[in-house]
Amino acid sequence: MADLNIPNLNIKSDKYIFKKKLNLRRKSKRRLLTEAFFLFIVSVLLVYINYLIPDKNLLLQDLPSTLNKSFLLLTNLFSYLYEIFLVIFIFVSSFTVLILMIGSFYRLLRVSKRKSKHIIYK
């Protein structure tokens, strides 16, 4: 009877563990005004930075050709990476083959020179 485990019904499930920690209060008018002012300042700063960029129209007109050139550069990069990885694989596999062949010849040499432990009775 002492080993009987009675479930505690007062324990809340884990999915509600952070529910009471959420800030559900409304923001004050002062805080809303400061956030709105901050957003307005950031937007004006971004408009000013865009205004300072020279030749925006030319940049926008050259965008398709620039994207095409960058795509061609990426395809060339991946083809060169493929070739580089193939060369690295060739070197690594050649080195591995060399080590494996030396190991197999060494074992064959040890087996051929092993002395017999059989006792011959006459």
Taking phi first (over 0 means left), then psi (-120 to 50 degrees means alpha), and beta for anything else, what does residue 55 get?
Answer: left
Please report, for the chain, the start and end positions of each structural domain, with discontinuous segments joined by +.
Answer: 25-53+66-113
Cα–Cα dist 62/46, whole Å: 23
Tokens of 21: 């920690």
Say what the pLDDT of residue 111 is.
85
Determine the Cα–Cα distance for residues 41 and 35; give it in Å rounded to an integer.
Answer: 10
DSSP character for 55?
-
| pLDDT exceeds 70 at position 115 | no
Which helix (H) or strand (E) segment holds residue 78: the answer is helix 63-113
Tens of pLDDT, residues 66-109: 999 999 999 999 989 999 999 999 999 999 999 999 999 999 88
Residue pLDDT, tens place only, 6-60? 666 666 566 666 666 666 678 888 999 999 999 999 999 999 999 999 998 999 9
Give the model's pLDDT for residue 116: 61
Looking at residue 62, its amino acid is: D
